A and B are shown apart, each in its own frame.
Chain A
Amino acid sequence: MIGATFRRVLPQLIILCVVLLLNFAVFPGFFHIEFQNGRLFGNLIDVLNRGAPVALLSIGMTLVIATKGIDLSVGAVMAIAGAVAASVVTGGGGWFTALIAALLAGLAAGLWNGVLVAFFRVQPIVATLVLMVAGRGVAQLITEGKIMTFLNEGLIHLGAGTILGIPTPIVIWLAMGTLVTLVVRRTALGMLIEAIGINETASRLAGINSRVLLVTVYLVSGFVAALAGVIVAADIKGADANNAGLWMELDAILAVVIGGNSLLGGRFSIVASLLGALIIQSVNSVILLSGMPPEFNLVIKALIIIVILVIQSPTVKHRLYLLRAKASSTVSDAPDVAPKAQLAKETRS
């Protein structure tokens, strides 16, 4: 299974390495990591740390997209969760209560989306658009339109603190990614989700409770969005309802797409989506470190993303496959070449 996963995510790994090397090219100190003030400190750590919100969102988004759905509301849910957490601690609650309240808010948002999609059969893009627009308003109502700042150390720790020297957001997204991957891959759950995405009617006729599963994937999406929202708020010690998670749903969808998952549903890989999130963050890092004027930011990002997507497109993939097939057939035409090379290597060593 590990081998299959590795082969599946190989393109993403290669792209990630290339983008990281691009970082190294613009800033030679990129791979330097040191232990400073009791925490790991370095650009590579920043990529893992700053990529946390999109990585978390991409976990839920992968499952939703695998069912042929989409969740546009995650950015707004982040804003709601941050606002809820901030209002709990400013109201005198503890950080744990705040976290639970924020996660419950995320689950409630997921339930809303899931019920609209699974029971009312509203198209996912429309169903989640409702919350995308209204959710930010809800968050603004909670914070009364201001940046609600807080000083609760426990809550701040979730965004700006460390666990064993590793920034907490990294630990959270790695743990969440591992947990969800294991749950969907060590059980039949992943396959059932894929079945819904490929043909919901057929999967229902085959005895899969598609409604419950659909609600579940939106619940997961709401849950991870809430986690991301708490991290983002904790990071700046304040809930910024206007800006928290703004347009982040698009980055999450992009991460899933860079991860090679089809927007038409079906087979999915969470690991690939997480790598996609890291690729996006590495691209952001290139832009920041290059020192180019900000007018170029979006152009550079667009160019890199286009190259990545074209490399992954079915046409290019097919060409590459044909090239590889041709190369291997040339090798098999001359079977005596390989042993000779092997021999040469052995004598040399």
Chain B
Amino acid sequence: MKLKTALLVSAVALTPLGAWAADKTVGFSQIGSESGWRAAETTVTKEQATERGINLKFADAQQKQENQIKALRGFIAQGVDAILLAPVVATGWDSVLEEAQDAEIPVILLDRKVDAPDDLYMTAVTSDTVYEGEVAGKWLVDTVAGKDCSVVELQGTTGSSPAIDRKAGFEKAIADASNIKIVRSQTGDFTRAQGKVVMESFLKAEGAENICALYAHNDDMAVGAIQAIKEAGAEPGKDILVVAIDAVPDMHLAIAKGEANATVELTPNMAGPAFDILDAFWADGTLPEKWVQTESKLFTAEDDNQAIYDMKKGLGY
């Protein structure tokens, strides 16, 4: 890994590039690698930086805010040209963001927002988690097309903001469809194992034949639940429709096999838009909006999921 980074850095140093971003140094403080998505975000950020000839200084905070603050102070001391921050928590950033501002280093938040005055950072590039739920809900409304449908819902970790938002978005999308009802909703903690366990209990409590669709707040729970549906003797994707959010490689594989129906992508490419913003800023001082929403793309069986799987599995998911 170190060798690879060293090679990347030297390659960047040797390549002459015409873009504004060339020869710029950007510090990236990443939360850690608690999920496959997070690892993919790190990989994509590094790729994006290499493509644009940006010298990326990467700091893994191992889920600790104090490490992130230390990393940010380090970046400021080194005089980087910009900072990307994926904040582990929402609060406690004011003073270090002020330090960055005093040093005239633009800070872009990735993936999550912070509770700080918005003049302390340039912009936040995040996905709209409520909208993700809406896209999933809308897909179900369109797919069942007026037929009665009892939905079971696998929620994310109780109280976490993606769980709350993805639930709200989905409910908003199905609010006008009186034919669609959520009959059971329980947390699967965003994990495969819990997704499977909870789906087992749904299947027993409701009966597989009475469940028309499964909505999971993330793909991992859906992948676990698909196994539970198979073990109960039903066909996932046909007897029970499966729709989830994130678009991780294994979900694409499940859709390719016909065991799942749809997934809404939470793109790991948050750095791409962030670098575009920085490019524009460095070119002529253009300031972006305070919030840049990434695309929440819907993937269904109509896409070439096998190809997407092959492409995505190398990203570190």
Contacts and interface: CB of A to CB of B under 8 A. Distances in A.
The answer to whether A and B come from one shared complex is yes
Contacts of B200: 46, 50
B227 A149 contact: no
Contacts of A36: 232-233
B39 A147 contact: no
B175 interface: no
A146 B316 contact: yes
B52 interface: no
A37 B233 contact: yes
A144 B40 CA distance: 12
Nearest to B220: A147
A235 B186 contact: no
Given A238-B192, A297-B158, A140 B33 contact: yes
Given A50-B197, A242-B35, A291 B204 contact: no
Contact of A160 (B39, B201, B231, B316): B231
A289 B158 contact: no
B198 interface: yes
Contacts, number: 80
A204 B233 CA distance: 57
A285 interface: yes
B192 A294 contact: no
B250 interface: yes
A243 interface: yes
Contact of B192 (A240, A289, A293): A240
Given A145-B316, A294-B155, A46 B201 contact: yes
A82 to B, nearest CB: 10
Nearest to A37: B233
Interface of B: 33-36, 39, 155, 158-159, 184-187, 189, 191-193, 196-198, 200-201, 204-205, 220, 223-224, 227, 231-233, 250, 316-317
Given A41-B232, A145-B33, A147-B220, 5 more contacts: A46-B204, A144-B316, A147-B250, A238-B192, A240-B191
22 contacts: A29-B205, A43-B204, A50-B200, A145-B316, A146-B36, A146-B316, A147-B220, A235-B196, A238-B192, A240-B191, A240-B220, A243-B193, A244-B193, A285-B201, A288-B197, A291-B184, A291-B186, A294-B155, A294-B158, A294-B185, A294-B187, A295-B159
